[in-house]
Amino acid sequence: MLTLMSACGSSRSSADKGKKKKVETREQYLQAKSDVIFDSYKNSNEGKVNDYTVKYIGTYKNIAIDKMEKYKIPASITLAQGILESGNGLSTLAKKSNNHFGIKCHSGWRGKRVYHDDDKKGECFRKYPSPEGSFNDHSKFLTSRGRYEFLFDLKPDDYKAWAKGLKKAGYATDRKYPKKLISFIETFELYKYDELVLDERGYKRTRQLDNYQPEYDDRSIVSNVIDDSDIFITVVSGDTLYSIARSNNLSVDDLKRINGLDSNEISVGMKLLVSK
């Protein structure tokens, strides 16, 4: 059995004994692992890259992952387009209209609209009640128009082909558009979110499908589970990689490897996988 550290110091009561273990939903798993990826990158690159871009990624990475799950659009591409088109969410169009992808009204749009100078003066752009509405519409936009259909024949982790394909399909007029997207993806390691979604084995290791019978609402985040399968702990004040590894019968190198960490730096609130 692995001993799991708890921020509140509580343990399972005798009433919990004999219950089936609580297994994470795939959505919860992806969010937890994406936090590990993000925190590792942020800690390793603090002061080296654009803080506004890092903040944007942290805010919208899980939405991009969700769209990859549902629509098969690489999360890296969605994030890179959002970063570029919205200026890290700081453009006038993004702030006033929640439009992160520069999608214009077109003839079929029945929602709210704003007018903004782009290729021409006073062009009509879509307005959304929230940024997530823009991400939803971006996915539907790419999946519902025939000129983008060929993109979905590409490998979902081939971000370079997707970037070039978007330019070929006419998404943007800037001839450097693919190069800009690729630069964002590689500089901020956005491809790791694609790899996360495509890593089916990684997710299956956290579940015991044969005997899985959820007892609680699957939408709730479960912590402090003690089991010999893959589990997460949340870093609390005073934790170090050494103390966490030692408490869970791991070496520091093993702990870093299974969490994709490049350094020994961890931060409060970071989620770490503590099973080989």
At 174-207, the pLDDT tens digits run: 999 999 999 999 999 999 999 999 988 777 766 5
Q: What pTM value is reported for the model?
A: 0.68
Task: Give how far the C-alpha of residue 124 lies from the chain's centroid of Cα atoms, to the nearest Å.
Answer: 30
Domains of the chain are 1-6+20-44+213-276 (3.10.350.10), 50-187 (1.10.530.10)
Averaged pLDDT of the chain: 81
pLDDT digits (tens, 9 = 90+) for 104-156: 887 778 889 888 776 677 788 999 999 999 999 999 999 999 999 999 999 99
How far is 191 from 185, CA to CA, in rounded Å? 6
Backbone phi, psi, residue 259, to 5° = -110, 5
Mean pLDDT, range 86-102, rounded to an integer? 94
Question: Is the pLDDT assigned to residue 219 strictly greater than 50?
Answer: no
